[in-house]
Amino acid sequence: MSWIPNIHFEISERKILLRIFDLVFIFLMIALVYNGFDFDYLKFKPNSWKWVFILILYYTLFAAIFEMYDLQKAASFQTTLKNVLLTVSMTVLFFVLTPFFTPVLPENRLQILFFFGSLVVGLLLWRYTYINLISAPRFNKRILVVGNSFDINLIAENLHVADPNYRVIGFVNTDNIKPDSFDRRLRAIEVDNLLKAIKRYSVSEIVVASPSQGVGVDLYNKLITLLEQGFPIREYTQVYEEITQRVPVQHVERDFYKYFPFSRSNKNRFYLFVSSFFNVIFAAFVLFLTLIVLPLILLGNLIANRGPLFYTQVRVGQNGKHFKIIKFRTMVIDAESGGAQWAQKKDTRITPFGKFLRNTRVDEIPQCINVLKGEMSLIGPRPERPVFVKELSEKIPFYEIRHVVKPGLTGWAQVRGRYAESVDDTLEKLQYDLFYIKHRNVFLDLNILLKTISTIIYYRGQ
């Protein structure tokens, strides 16, 4: 039997397509303008190609900052339009302001508008095509899940939220719960009808979410038959981690070492040296810049904070060691007179100036002192208070694993997760933290830095 699933695009493949064709359409439109109008600012000549690489560098950088490759946002034309305008504006601005690396500004400044317009039109034409063709439902990846009843709805929701084109269309149940307890949109597939269902519903992949002992002999044999014929069958935790970029701790059993082959970067002396060196340089530079704007911060604190400028609090660091974190104060004085409590997204204890400090992440700047003291790093899991660590460690499996690395000013959970107002939100953030610890490397660190800049620009700080 020959299995040829319908055409679909993996999550990474769509990001690669976006990156490649963004550049293709940009240079295609520049070439059209160059040949169709009196446009000689950018010349396609053998001895003047340096500007091409500079333009690619600037565009790639700002496209990452303004979330041009976020698949959720790339599926909306309205959001894409906004992001394209922001990205092109910054790309053109930096391009024309660095004439040492780029062509000298033309005498006719109207050519800069041609340059700006060609980038915007080229990108919008391609992104409109992407939204209506590649991001269309016919290119969805259609998944069949083999799993326990209580997992099916959660699995379908998690995968679809992470990737809109990843559709769970049905399930093969491995326990005795009746199908009435499932989402009615999901098809219940009997083991005997598995092979027919794959053809009938054009299934692209099977995801197994049950432990091996939960798969009966008949189902096991059918999965082996499909595997031998080349049909893709994958394990759920692997798929979940790849799609959501989180470690699914709620599905990890006692033999955790199977799921946490931590990144070799955690013990790589060269990586750790480079990271520590960059941390010191960055922290010193940021503190120097802060001294310049400190009078404005003092004025804002005097008017809308009314009280001490700084705030210290005990947090848990690497290997469980306690240290005092330093921040600009964002809450009213004696905000926790009644005892420790979770911060809420619209917490009434936050002062007007404190809200600004939080949204722009300026309140975190004094932690650069902690970085210089070696207590924190630029990137890592956010340090939590001892009382909450004790509480969360009792409720969430593997919570204390996040302490194997230094806590950070920013992290994967901060740029990807939602505001933590409960244990469930903290569980989600832990999944991101463990993903970072498991995969940390220079490229992931750079990705986090770029996304942190996006968080500041879009005023999404927490």
Residue 253 maps to a domain: no
Sign, CA torsion 250/13/187/238 = negative
Within this chain, do residues 111 and 149 fall inside the same structural domain, yes or no? no
Q: What is the pLDDT of residue 349?
A: 85
Within this chain, do residues 300 and 223 fall inside the same structural domain, yes or no? no
Residue 116 maps to a domain: yes
Residue 271 phi/psi, 5-degree rounding, is -60, -45
Neighbours of 348 (CB within 10 A): 8
Within this chain, do residues 352 and 426 fall inside the same structural domain, yes or no? yes
Q: What is the pLDDT of residue 1?
A: 44
Residue 227 maps to a domain: yes
Within this chain, do residues 317 and 435 fall inside the same structural domain, yes or no? yes
Give the number of C-alpha atoms closer than 13 A to the C-alpha of residue 271, restricted to the C-beta side: 13
For 302-337, b/e burial (b = at least 16 CB within 10 A) is eeebeeeeebeeebbbbeeeebebbbbbbbeeebee
Residue 3 maps to a domain: no
Write the DSSP symbol of residue 248: -
Within this chain, do residues 421 and 304 fall inside the same structural domain, yes or no? yes
Residue 152 maps to a domain: yes
Within this chain, do residues 115 and 162 fall inside the same structural domain, yes or no? no
- Choosing from 185, 215, 244, the residue where a domain stops is 244
Strand positions, DSSP E, 187-321:
187-188, 205-208, 233-235, 310-316
The per-residue pLDDT string of the chain (462 residues; one tens digit each, 9 = 90 and over) reads 444 455 555 667 788 899 999 999 999 998 888 777 777 778 777 677 788 899 999 999 999 999 899 887 888 899 999 999 999 999 999 998 888 888 887 777 788 888 999 999 999 999 999 988 877 666 678 888 887 755 677 778 777 777 767 788 888 877 765 555 556 678 888 888 888 999 888 898 898 887 656 678 888 888 898 888 889 888 888 888 888 888 887 766 655 666 666 677 777 888 899 999 999 999 999 999 999 989 999 999 888 888 899 999 999 999 999 999 999 998 888 777 666 676 666 777 888 888 888 888 899 999 999 999 999 999 999 999 999 899 888 888 888 889 999 999 999 998 887 776 777 788 889 999 999 998 898 889 999 998 888 888 776 655
Short-list 18, 136, 128, CA closest to 70: 18
Query: Which region, left, alpha or beta, applies to residue 103 given φ > 0 means left and ψ of -120 to 50 means alpha?
Result: beta
404: containing domain: 264-333+341-457
Within this chain, do residues 32 and 115 fall inside the same structural domain, yes or no? yes
Residue 27 maps to a domain: yes
Tokens of 15: 């990001």
Residue 258 maps to a domain: no
Within this chain, do residues 366 and 280 fall inside the same structural domain, yes or no? yes
Within this chain, do residues 125 and 146 fall inside the same structural domain, yes or no? no
Short-list 457, 440, 91, CA closest to 275: 440
Q: What is the pLDDT of residue 236?
A: 83
- Choosing from 193, 210, 244, the residue where a domain stops is 244
Give CA separation, 395 vs 27, 28, 361, 383, in Å: 54, 55, 29, 18
- How many Å apart are CA 100 and CA 83, to the nearest integer? 28
Number of domains in the chain: 3
Residue 394 maps to a domain: yes
Within this chain, do residues 358 and 325 fall inside the same structural domain, yes or no? yes
Write the DSSP symbol of residue 134: I
| pTM for this prediction | 0.80
| Helix or strand run (H / E) with residue 173 | strand 166-173
Short-list 234, 233, 230, CA closest to 2: 230
Within this chain, do residues 181 and 272 fall inside the same structural domain, yes or no? no
Cα–Cα–Cα angle for 454, 139, 210, nearest 5°? 85
Residue 153 sits in a domain of what CATH number?
A: 3.40.50.720
Within this chain, do residues 111 and 202 fall inside the same structural domain, yes or no? no
